[in-house]
Amino acid sequence: MSALATAIYRGRERVPALDPADRGLAYGDGLFETLRVSAGRLPWWDAHLARLANGARRLGLPAPDAAWLAGEASALLAGAPAEAVLKLVLTRGSGGRGYSAPDAAVPTVVLSVHALPAPFDGPLSLRWCETRLAPQPRLAGLKHLNRLEQVLARAEWSDPAVHEGLMLDAAGRVTCATAANLFALVGGRWITPALHEAGVAGIARGWVLANEPGATEAELWPADVESAEALFLCNAVRGILPVGRLGQRTWAPHPALDDLRRRLRRDVPAF
């Protein structure tokens, strides 16, 4: 998606261009966040910043100052559509000898505003992806910049009638969609895969776990998903999206899902 506006920083200094020696490009040595802009504001800002800070800690990256970042994001959004997407990339910056990080890394921040993606028309139609997610506990849950598995999985289909693909880990457990988390209603309870070895701990996923009584993390196998009472995907740009089809299996709208979406919309009107 091409950006409506972009701002690049080395530390807190605005710079005209990305250094081609940036470790974000060289090694994917960084993190990103994709935030929904609604009515010109960022409803889940605190949750995104908390995830970014946690990821930075786990990768040993200096996290940018939250107040400074909020000011820069506001300035960039001032000229942007009221409904949009803000992308934030944080990298370890330039330099270092090979994989070894520089002693005093000056992080790079890239803020960019993008048009909202076109809404999906009706319930989602899903497929199973063949590309598996490799188990890597050091990176599991993080929204880091090493995303070739998702690129390969998304390249498995081009049929526009298929909206998303579900990915398994190497052991065959269901983990997530290429760009969303999954919840399955099993025995009247919303279950989402635990992310100890792979996957991204999404912000919308966190909202559901915090706000839906009984929603929990657990192992989910393909048979659990295919026999679920209802399914949805969620992410911070599109909110909660009911699944209507997975391969040959179909689902009718489910009242528990309608109720959950209503509560999300009450909390964040954009969704």
Sites of contact with its own copies (CB under 8 A): 1-3, 6, 8, 16-18, 20-29, 32, 59-60, 89, 91-92, 94-101, 110, 112, 117, 131-132, 134-136, 138-139, 144-155, 170, 178-179
Q: Tell me how far, at minimum, the Cβ of 40 lies from its own copies, in Å.
A: 22
Q: What are phi and psi of 251, to 5 degrees?
A: -130, 140
Position 163, amino acid: H
Distance of alpha carbon 243 from alpha carbon 125, whole angstroms:
6
Q: Tell me how far, at minimum, the Cβ of 229 lies from its own copies, in Å.
A: 29
End-to-end CA distance of the chain: 21
* Residue 217, number of CB atoms within 10 A of its CB: 14
Which of 35/153 has CB closer to its own copies?
153
Q: Tell me how far, at minimum, the Cβ of 34 lies from its own copies, in Å.
A: 9
Q: Which residues contact 98 (CB under 8 A, 6 or more apart)?
A: none
Which of 46/151 has CB closer to its own copies?
151
The answer to whether the beta carbons of residues 72 and 9 sit under 8 Å apart is yes
Q: What is each CA distance from 237 to 69, 90, 247, 255, in whole angstroms?
A: 20, 19, 25, 23
Q: Tell me how far, at minimum, the Cβ of 213 lies from its own copies, in Å.
A: 32
Which of 32/190 has CB closer to its own copies?
32
Which of 117/122 has CB closer to its own copies?
117
Q: Tell me how far, at minimum, the Cβ of 266 lies from its own copies, in Å.
A: 28
Which of 170/218 has CB closer to its own copies?
170
**The residue to which tokens 């009706």 are assigned:** 122
Collapsed DSSP state (helix, strand, coil) of residue 228: coil
